[in-house]
Amino acid sequence: MHVEKGMIYGFLGANGAGKTTVFKLLSGLRIPTMGKVRVLGMDIVSRRPDILSQIGTLIETPIFYEHLSAEENLKIHLAYMGKEDGDIEDILSKVGLENTGIQPVSTFSLGMRQRLAIARAIVHKPKLLILDEPINGLDPMGIREMRDLFFNLAKAYGMTLLISSHILTEIEHIADTIGAIVKGNIVREVSMDKVRAEYPSGLEDYFMDIMTGRKENENDY
């Protein structure tokens, strides 16, 4: 997997292909049994604490302190990340949670919880965001807002985003590069511009050709 600084990398694969496992390896949540994992130029096994302070993650179902508010949850996150300069009000506004006040997270809808998970992933200003199905539970308006946020994080703040989603139209909208994994192997990495040129009908046809083996395995930017 080759993810360049400042790009939005769309990670595609069928259920069980290994997307979440790769994300857990990159985040230090699983230890590789062979091979090397380097994140931000550092080995994830020997430099895990250094890496974790510089990445933000949303992998599987997010867990919060249910009796606390969104703001209090973010304060705790900043404290254990060793960060003091997170602008919590601004981040909550960016994800559409600016009016939640002292409302406990236990009362949040699925979409609100997903927004808070994204806020927690970015509040400490990471260099790399690893987002596994980040728009789950969001309505169309929320999906559009998150799309704009992801664009802004990459283009205005220089963050690198690694995103998986089963909603191919969203990946098609935001990704610079596509990586496809089949049965644990990354079989192709290609620019989204090249996908558009080869598949005017959209990313779905490209994805189906990769998954069924009709598209020859290659790395081609």
pLDDT per residue as tens digits for the range 138-187 = 889 989 999 999 999 998 888 999 999 888 999 999 999 999 999 989 99
pLDDT per residue as tens digits for the range 85-105 = 778 999 999 999 998 989 999
pLDDT per residue as tens digits for the range 3-18 = 999 999 999 999 888 9
Q: For tokens 């994994």, what's the residue? A: 181
Contact 114, 63 (CB under 8 A): no
* CATH of the structural domain 8-63+125-220, one choice from 3.90.198.10, 3.40.50.300, 3.40.50.11740, 3.20.20.80: 3.40.50.300
Contact 78, 121 (CB under 8 A): no
Question: At 39, which helix (H) or strand (E)?
Answer: strand 38-39
How many Å apart are CA 192 and CA 175, to the nearest integer? Answer: 7
